[in-house]
Amino acid sequence: MADTAIALPGRTARRVRVTTSAVIVVAVGLAVLVVPPLTQLDQQAVDLANKLVPPSLAHPFGTDDVGRDLLLRCVYGLRVSLLVGLVAALTATVVGTAIGALAGALGGWADRIVMRVVDALSSIPHLLLGIFIVAMFRPGVWPVIISVALTHWISTARIVRAEVLSLRSRPFIDAAVSGGASRTRIVVRHLLPGVLPQAGLAAVLMVPHAMWHESALSFLGLGLPAHQASLGNLVQSARGSLLAGDWWPTLFPGLFLIIPTLALAGLAGAWRDRINPRRKSELML
């Protein structure tokens, strides 16, 4: 009875956390998909007569230093940052899954070469490597996506390789080899389906990381063009206003970046508990 009494609050807290995260993610998805097409307002419209207006009924998030509505700008910025994060995370996951699966399935010298490359890239900070990559292109969405994808496949490759090595020792793989199955068939029919849950979890966890990476690059002036609304650009352009005592141009873009990433992390944690029953049972104790 005591164990049950301890477990129930933990389960209730997890359900509340997951439900809250799901509601936030759905609300964010609806906002970025529905608000821009329905609104008749131009998020780039300049109104110098109403610059740096505090939050009000007319402008719930206030206005920026040239009179643009911050709520609309934040929605557009979240739309761009989320698009960059999703595409970059999916690209990095596909690359990392392919490389990790091949390294684990082939083994031997191929595995050693791949892991040495992974170790070498892991020793370089992601942001520094990302700055080097985007510096070779003109500012834009695709250079940022390429930069994030090329710096974030490494962790997925490690996870997938470890999962493949674990699956290779299972009896059903030995049975497939004894039955004459080719290496390609074993990888496609047996190994890849076994690593897809882990790869999917890595992709979900990578989306908020990619959004923060894009925001950092844009904040440094190396990501998206300054005129394009992204959360990093909004925070970067609000630095002068913050020093002058106007807090809202910095606060609301920051919240639009923090809250969705925490919600995605909450859903990813629930997914991780679902595919790892042992960890889930430990959390309930």
Residues whose CB is less than 8 angstroms from the CB of residue 164 and which lie 6 or more positions away in sequence, other chains included: 100, 101, 103, 104, 105, 191, 194, 195
Whole-number pLDDT of residue 285: 36
Across 117-141, average pLDDT: 82
- In the chain, domain spans: 15-278
Check residue 5 and give its pLDDT.
45
User: Is the pLDDT reported for residue 279 higher than 60?
Assistant: no
- What CATH number has the domain spanning 15-278? 1.10.3720.10
Provide the mean pLDDT of the chain. Answer: 79
**Residue 97: how many other CB atoms lie within 10 Å:** 26
Indicate the pTM of the whole model.
Answer: 0.78
Q: Tens digit of pLDDT for each residue in 10-37? A: 677 777 777 787 788 888 777 777 766 6
| Cα-based torsion angle of the residue sequence 152, 28, 201, 7 in order, rounded to the nearest 10 degrees | 130
